[in-house]
Structure 1
């Protein structure tokens, strides 16, 4: 099958998606799981065609002098595609989130009240690079009975079309409407034209560099689930283990290709042992990290580059770690709450009291105490698949998974 993905405009695509979402909501969990599995099989069959399309995108992007960061995000490999296949296969085996009954948090007189998870309806993913992310998002949306509108970047046009056609073929083969997953043409569809359609869109998820996320947040009238990447903080307490601090920093950067929970800033106590600090820096440099520091550290250690004030609130999205001296845990918490991206922040400490104060005081979606914050889309433990991380308070916070793409309906049933 060949789909003319570039032949529709945002309004017609959203209108058809809204109508299709009613059909999807009535499907069984078994049928939706079967479709997700069919998507995985289709990606396997068309792997070579997808990789060829990606090679074309890479060649064009290099000629256009696209940044190395975006090129890395854009580059597909057989391993990255197979990882997506594994994710979709596992997703197909997870319990159906739709229709799950939960106790209500209120009761009315002479009536039974309960809550039930329901699909949101129509979800838009706006992303740059990461062509495989569309397949993961499609799997999550179909599994949760939602329609998906995809809006990728110009740099991944051919890859995105190849993957979208593959997903639509799987939908058609299984008797599901191809309007369940639609790709808008990259160049012909300004982002703003899509995200102001709050009549049809139930949720917008921007994924990419902070500038893209902020653009969507500023312009959208539809609800937005803001994703976050990088600029995670670590407070290294004087009681904290050096090897643990090093391990957490290095491991947090190992997620490929997007280091979602990468520790990029480290706060240290004034009483931290200078020899331990130098040992940590040397170890990180051996792993390919650049080290930066505040004015005090740069003055004490001449080889350390001074951090600009604006950097404390910015994500590097690179193997760069900046260090800052603070007066103690309270100061560290205040600094983190002001400058961190707010989705994953960490503590290395042997003190139970410090651990509790950090866990309660830091406003981030997730706090990691003596544990690596490394992000896994397909974690080995638990029944979950994740698209990314959100740092916003509101709709759903933290890991973006199946339940994030649902809403709660309260049902009150009585006898008149």
Structure 2
């Protein structure tokens, strides 16, 4: 016999699945209008959202939640403006579900081609980041998918305020009301009960600390797209420019609210001179960074570095902390990165073309950055693309999570 919570979540995903079928048959113009209405609704509701967020912040102080969660939870007018900007960009961009793609093969004598189509029903399980549900909802509406959002208790008031705005926007656009559903942690429905509804769920996206992502990945029976934050590596080549190293490290931490591609580990060629290292350490400390290092570097620079534990090479700090280690050469750096980095965004600073090509070829990462900051933005300036986050997951849309990530391919053979 089913428990009441199991029956409740089954009803939610079933109705969401029906809404996804209706959305897939809805015109691109109507879905675009829905995203536009959502953007205007969020834009006119800053006071309401920020008031709800204030309640969450007050509760979080009493709960003594983890530091990164507190940072992710705090909404600002600037963060809400960015959300509105992303939704406006989505409303103006071309509909990806009408895109035709040449097939990699042809079945003679017929014509074979592919078309992007909606995935169906998507579940977002996220920590803090109240605005993330609105961004994901916009991406899902744009691509003809329904969304079920399951936030954390620390952001319950903010999440509910945004959910109410989303529901009103769907009604104003005459779109299926179950195109968006919100599951509160107080509802009695667990994360496991949600992510095991593989009969109706087509994709689950966990977003937050590695512990949450791993928990969802282990429990889910539906397909999971794992997101990744932090623990990105940089290799400082012997020919690498000191000023560029400083700029790249600092800039990578400046994306708000989550420094997805923050460089937290720097591998230093052992031939880099002490004055250059001292200049970098001094500059980073002045900008509020806490610096760590292995035994060799801590012994050489005790006034700048504190000793790190071996397990830290694999863990993200999710704060303004950078750890340093000497390596002999590029092959040793690549081997270390492939062993310990998160594998979603790693960088090199070098003047050597040969090293650039070798790094690109050998580093097993979703995105590789050469002499430029890996700083992440959900809506890069001057670009038309919108990104929810990053994934290091091979086999399903590795790299930047764009609107195309919310689609799949239908193959058509026409006689």
What TM-score results when the alignment is normalised by the length of structure 2?
Answer: 0.97
Question: What per-residue deviation string (whole Å, max 9, x for no partner) do you get for residues 361-393 of structure 1?
Answer: 101000000010000101123321000000110
CA shift, 1:232, in A, is 0.3
Report if aligned partners of 2:231, 2:263 keep a CA contact under 8 Å in 1. Answer: yes
The unaligned stretches of length 5 or more in structure 1 are: 1-5
Report if aligned partners of 1:21, 1:145 keep a CA contact under 8 Å in 2. Answer: yes
For residues 132 and 320 of structure 1, the distance between their equivalents in structure 2, rounded to whole angstroms, comes to 26
> Which residue of the partner structure matches residue 290 of structure 2?
290
CA shift, 1:29, in A, is 1.2
> Which residue of the partner structure matches residue 114 of structure 2?
115
Report if aligned partners of 1:238, 1:271 keep a CA contact under 8 Å in 2. Answer: yes
Moved over 4 A (4+): none
Partner of 1:325, secondary structure, is strand
> Which residue of the partner structure matches residue 3 of structure 1?
none
The unaligned stretches of length 5 or more in structure 2 are: none
For residues 173 and 277 of structure 1, the distance between their equivalents in structure 2, rounded to whole angstroms, comes to 58
Partner of 2:98, secondary structure, is coil
> Which residue of the partner structure matches residue 235 of structure 2?
235
Report if aligned partners of 2:19, 2:177 keep a CA contact under 8 Å in 1. Answer: no
Partner of 1:160, secondary structure, is helix
CA shift, 1:45, in A, is 2.2
For residues 64 and 102 of structure 2, the distance between their equivalents in structure 1, rounded to whole angstroms, comes to 55
Question: What per-residue deviation string (whole Å, max 9, x for no partner) do you get for residues 222-269 of structure 1?
Answer: 100000000000000010000000000000000011000000000011
For residues 329 and 78 of structure 2, the distance between their equivalents in structure 1, rounded to whole angstroms, comes to 44
CA shift, 1:51, in A, is 1.1
For residues 147 and 356 of structure 1, the distance between their equivalents in structure 2, rounded to whole angstroms, comes to 42
Deviation larger for 9-18 or 233-242: 9-18
CA shift, 1:24, in A, is 0.4
1:17-416 mapped onto 2 (5 Å cutoff):
17-187=16-186, 188-303=188-303, 304-414=305-415
Report if aligned partners of 1:9, 1:184 keep a CA contact under 8 Å in 2. Answer: no
CA shift, 1:66, in A, is 1.4
CA shift, 1:400, in A, is 0.4
What TM-score results when the alignment is normalised by the length of structure 1?
Answer: 0.97
Report if aligned partners of 1:15, 1:200 keep a CA contact under 8 Å in 2. Answer: yes
For residues 280 and 298 of structure 1, the distance between their equivalents in structure 2, rounded to whole angstroms, comes to 15
Partner of 2:224, secondary structure, is coil
For residues 269 and 48 of structure 2, the distance between their equivalents in structure 1, rounded to whole angstroms, comes to 53
Report if aligned partners of 1:217, 1:224 keep a CA contact under 8 Å in 2. Answer: yes
For residues 214 and 126 of structure 2, the distance between their equivalents in structure 1, rounded to whole angstroms, comes to 12
CA shift, 1:9, in A, is 2.4
For residues 124 and 191 of structure 1, the distance between their equivalents in structure 2, rounded to whole angstroms, comes to 10
Give aligned pairs, total.
408
CA shift, 1:300, in A, is 1.7
CA shift, 1:193, in A, is 0.6
Partner of 1:98, secondary structure, is helix
Question: What per-residue deviation string (whole Å, max 9, x for no partner) do you get for residues 327-380 of structure 1?
Answer: 100000000001000000000000000000001110100000001000010112
For residues 23 and 136 of structure 1, the distance between their equivalents in structure 2, rounded to whole angstroms, comes to 21
CA shift, 1:110, in A, is 1.5
